Chains A and B, each alone.
Chain A
């Protein structure tokens, strides 16, 4: 039995091409988040598929992650606020967090940023320098750092802002800072949901309470490289959009 079936008895497992949207089973109406969900799904070339999930706390996170690991593509976790965003953003702003091995994650984040940009979605990228995610060699500040940052910005072409942070704690603070203006927090991950793994994802699902979290598997991003199907959406979200 798949993880999603366990969470929602009788539900069919999600299929490829779907953006799985996990929402609080007790919340009922998800209409407040509908616009956001539709825009994200369109930008990613996916079709929303809502799945209620019950529970709270760490066990809820565990179940969520197991379900997310089993999903064919990205999953969006809506906060347990049924009314949706109270303040419409002038434009859709995303936080894209890179964590893990620098080389492949940077590449993946770059692809995702460009895909979102084509879909009219703006991004702020936070590049995490943490264990296993730093360049192997670092000559120092000045010339080397300048060359590294220039290349980092080129690889995330399409992002409005790029910020380098060190460690999970600093990442959490940076997300808090940027979440004020963000419609969602995007986390790249490797679908490893067993206990003790995906600590960055676990901690950030808690931090981003009130802001939806989009979990994007690294392997799914790889399908974007080949010019994955999906309409090119150039949708500028105007100020004061209506729900």
Chain B
């Protein structure tokens, strides 16, 4: 990539977007002041790279160029920029994307728009990458090349305080960093998509040459790029200009201070620390960082499977967002969770159309969603050999509809208020329930069935009565009835009652004689393979055994029945958790990045912390060790969200049930070598800091709160908080495998 080009200077209307700038037409920047500011910024690089707050490359982990680029992505919820070197090179994959801005490509459908890179530097000769440090505390990516940075130093960030503002400062040997080749002082960017949306930006670069008394000349560069992204139409250039000039007036040093303050504030309700495990602590903070950076705090937020770290999966929104990422934000930054739900709310109309097109009622959300809420799941795609195969998830993977409802409910439960569900979120519960009511087939004995679906376990297609789909549909009906009764003024009572009856009739696959659930109808007639017959997990069974044989076996790709115990434990009969776990865990190969963390969470709830920790470690390594072979194309945000959920919901036992919850519920089951698990969360609109041990929890709070620790009674705590003993009633321990 090359430094920003010199395009038009207005928005096409003839009105200048910025003061006219011609080479030589602007007063020479005050070189000394610029150099001083750049030095001041670069001087803020932390001297000590705290291993629990920094990702360093090169390091003991062999990350590889493009994997490192994904891990070093900086983003602000509006714009995401991969961590490519400023001068990139043939092996790089630089990309800058705007959240929620899609376009249509012939033959490939809707995909995220890429905008020209803003962070390129022109070097006179190639440099090695040097040492790069992503400081998660501040969201700044630092680079140092040469001893004491003699060759080049850079700092780059995406402003959390001013989303859409991106900053790069650089200082280096003038024989390497050419002060006259870093692009025009001011460049205008406009990227229209074929769907009418687009991105507008201003990129301003200031350079100066310093002539120190000793040594060669030095070059300093300061670049500020300001973007506006419109998900439905092109943003107005004047607004982007105004925001840009505010940022320019602030200057890089003040922008850095704002960045540090914004992230410090974010971490006050979003931190995790495991006293005895710095590696896991770093992985959790990395997860929280990228999740926070990928989702805006207002408006609507379309969170693709890889967030803003790459263009893989075309930026399409899957259940990854609702089930795996939203719970993290709902508990750490509710405004972002709300923005994710707004994305779904604004696509309810399309979801209703989709249901109607199938002759059904209510709203049916698409398996893959992008710009307008239509299903953008490809009908076919290449497999590992490059052969074209049909893709049926769009037509058959319907549990997404209940997943969206679950996300809305979970957000409301964490907020401690019905306001969202009774207001803008109503449709997400009521219309989805209405869909299931029209979807479920009732047999002559009154049993409710959902035929021909794909559950989370995608090895088996077009199955009947998939336990996950059925139980989630029944849950959806019940919660939809709750909301309908609260909001219909009595008119919806009959419909709500019918939903409850239908929910009670749904075939869940539970067999009292075995105490566990049947994965789907006919599952037990399949070839009785275990995961150990395929190889050490995680293993992609479909690649080892072939797709056909895998589909005829009992091998499961990922948590399916077990997933229910993580999401809706109260829907399931007592005692079924460990029985389902004992039966399905040996049959699960964790071929999906979504699987290990969920199993870890449920194992932890059963008190099987050693097994849980082993699977948690797999989840931790998914991107750090590129277990899927695709981290180069973007981070697995759902896996990151799952990792956090496993620790918080699994090991800490943080439990959320309904908006009516009056007490904070914790039930720590920690590995002995963890020592203490420290969490910062947001619950019922207030920040909390927790210290969890197996025998007690400490809650720091700013207002009175009730705590249930273990199975004990609720304990009232006054601010600033205190210790609460964890009690467990006899007989509440799960039976170990």
Binding site for B on A (CB under 8 A): 102-103, 107, 129, 131-132, 134-152, 154, 157, 163-166
Contacting residues, chain B, for A144 (C-beta < 8 A): 313, 628, 630
Q: Which of B64, B389, B622, B628 contacts A148 (CB 8 A)?
A: B628
Given contacts A136-B627, A140-B458, contact A154 B381 (CB under 8 A): no
Given contacts A136-B538, A149-B386, contact A154 B91 (CB under 8 A): yes
Q: Which of B64, B385, B538, B539 contacts A164 (CB 8 A)?
A: B385
CB-nearest residue of chain B relative to A134?
A: B543
B540 and A138 within 8 A (CB): yes
A137, A146, A148, A152, most chain B CB atoms within 10 A = A137
Contacting residues, chain A, for B90 (C-beta < 8 A): 157
Contacting residues, chain B, for A152 (C-beta < 8 A): 629
Contacting residues, chain B, for A102 (C-beta < 8 A): 629
B93 and A136 within 8 A (CB): no
Q: Does B328 contact A (CB under 8 A)?
A: no
The docked-state distance in angstroms from the alpha carbon of A137 to that of B638 is: 14
B592 and A166 within 8 A (CB): no
Q: Does B626 contact A (CB under 8 A)?
A: yes
Q: Does B305 contact A (CB under 8 A)?
A: yes
Residue pairs across A and B with CB atoms within 8 Å: the count is 109
Contacting residues, chain A, for B382 (C-beta < 8 A): 141-142, 145-146, 149
The docked-state distance in angstroms from the alpha carbon of A131 to that of B539 is: 10
The docked-state distance in angstroms from the alpha carbon of A152 to that of B386 is: 12
Shortest CB-to-CB span from B93 to chain A, Å, is 7
Q: List 21 A-B contacts (CB under 8 A).
A: A103-B626, A134-B543, A135-B627, A136-B538, A137-B590, A137-B591, A138-B542, A138-B543, A139-B592, A140-B391, A141-B381, A141-B389, A144-B628, A145-B383, A147-B632, A148-B384, A152-B629, A164-B384, A164-B385, A164-B386, A166-B546
Given contacts A143-B316, A146-B382, contact A135 B93 (CB under 8 A): no
Contacting residues, chain B, for A138 (C-beta < 8 A): 384, 540, 542-543, 591, 628
Shortest CB-to-CB span from A171 to chain B, Å, is 12
B384 and A151 within 8 A (CB): no
CB-nearest residue of chain A relative to B543?
A: A134
Contacting residues, chain A, for B543 (C-beta < 8 A): 129, 134-135, 138, 166
In the complex, chain B residues 269-292 whose Cβ is within 8 Å of any chain A Cβ: none
CB-nearest residue of chain A relative to B388?
A: A141
CB-nearest residue of chain A relative to B368?
A: A143
Contacting residues, chain A, for B632 (C-beta < 8 A): 147, 151, 154
B629 and A151 within 8 A (CB): yes
The docked-state distance in angstroms from the alpha carbon of A108 to that of B416 is: 55
B381 and A145 within 8 A (CB): yes
Contacting residues, chain B, for A145 (C-beta < 8 A): 381-384
Contacting residues, chain A, for B626 (C-beta < 8 A): 103
Q: Which of A143, A149, A150, A154 contacts B313 (CB 8 A)?
A: A143
Given contacts A102-B629, A147-B313, contact A141 B66 (CB under 8 A): no
Contacting residues, chain B, for A107 (C-beta < 8 A): 64
Contacting residues, chain A, for B458 (C-beta < 8 A): 140
A137 and B383 within 8 A (CB): no
The docked-state distance in angstroms from the alpha carbon of A105 to that of B314 is: 29
Q: Does B378 contact A (CB under 8 A)?
A: yes
Q: Does B675 contact A (CB under 8 A)?
A: no
Q: Does B1 contact A (CB under 8 A)?
A: no
The contact string, 1 if C-beta is below 8 Å from chain A, for chain B 625-637, is: 0111110111000
Q: Does B32 contact A (CB under 8 A)?
A: no
B66 and A154 within 8 A (CB): yes
Q: Does B575 contact A (CB under 8 A)?
A: no
Q: Does B181 contact A (CB under 8 A)?
A: no
A151 and B385 within 8 A (CB): no
The docked-state distance in angstroms from the alpha carbon of A82 to that of B64 is: 44
Q: Does B593 contact A (CB under 8 A)?
A: yes
A143 and B314 within 8 A (CB): yes
Shortest CB-to-CB span from B153 to chain A, Å, is 26
A141 and B391 within 8 A (CB): yes
A148 and B630 within 8 A (CB): yes
Closest 3 CB pairs of A and B: A142-B381, A138-B540, A147-B633
A137 and B592 within 8 A (CB): yes
Shortest CB-to-CB span from A165 to chain B, Å, is 7
Q: Does B598 contact A (CB under 8 A)?
A: no
**Known pairs A103-B626, A138-B540. 10 more at Cβ < 8 A?**
A135-B540, A135-B629, A136-B538, A142-B380, A143-B312, A145-B381, A147-B633, A151-B629, A163-B385, A163-B386
Contacting residues, chain B, for A135 (C-beta < 8 A): 540, 543, 627-629
CB-nearest residue of chain B relative to A140?
A: B458
Shortest CB-to-CB span from A100 to chain B, Å, is 14
Given contacts A135-B540, A136-B628, A137-B540, contact A129 B91 (CB under 8 A): no
Contacting residues, chain A, for B305 (C-beta < 8 A): 143
Shortest CB-to-CB span from A177 to chain B, Å, is 14
The docked-state distance in angstroms from the alpha carbon of A149 to that of B312 is: 12
B383, B384, B544, B627, most chain A CB atoms within 10 A = B384
B628 and A131 within 8 A (CB): no
The docked-state distance in angstroms from the alpha carbon of A131 to that of B544 is: 7
CB-nearest residue of chain A relative to B381?
A: A142
The contact string, 1 if C-beta is below 8 Å from chain A, for chain B 178-197, is: 00000000000000000000
Contacting residues, chain B, for A148 (C-beta < 8 A): 384, 628-630
The docked-state distance in angstroms from the alpha carbon of A94 to that of B111 is: 37
Q: Does B424 contact A (CB under 8 A)?
A: no
CB-nearest residue of chain A relative to B629?
A: A135
The docked-state distance in angstroms from the alpha carbon of A154 to that of B626 is: 15
Contacting residues, chain A, for B592 (C-beta < 8 A): 137, 139
Q: Does B535 contact A (CB under 8 A)?
A: yes
Contacting residues, chain B, for A141 (C-beta < 8 A): 381-384, 389, 391
CB-nearest residue of chain B relative to A103?
A: B626
B630 and A134 within 8 A (CB): no
In the complex, chain B residues 593-635 whose Cβ is within 8 Å of any chain A Cβ: 593, 622, 626-630, 632-634
Contacting residues, chain A, for B66 (C-beta < 8 A): 151, 154
The docked-state distance in angstroms from the alpha carbon of A164 to that of B384 is: 7
B312 and A134 within 8 A (CB): no
A102, A107, A138, A144, most chain B CB atoms within 10 A = A138
CB-nearest residue of chain A relative to B391?
A: A142
CB-nearest residue of chain B relative to A146?
A: B382
CB-nearest residue of chain B relative to A114?
A: B91
Q: Which of A134, A143, A154, A163 contacts B540 (CB 8 A)?
A: A134
The docked-state distance in angstroms from the alpha carbon of A139 to that of B542 is: 10
Shortest CB-to-CB span from A59 to chain B, Å, is 33
Contacting residues, chain B, for A131 (C-beta < 8 A): 535, 544
Q: Which of B93, B391, B539 contacts A154 (CB 8 A)?
A: B93
The docked-state distance in angstroms from the alpha carbon of A19 to that of B457 is: 50
Contacting residues, chain A, for B391 (C-beta < 8 A): 140-142
Shortest CB-to-CB span from A130 to chain B, Å, is 8
A151 and B383 within 8 A (CB): no
Q: Which of B378, B539, B630 contacts A142 (CB 8 A)?
A: B378
Q: Which of B381, B535, B634 contacts A146 (CB 8 A)?
A: B381
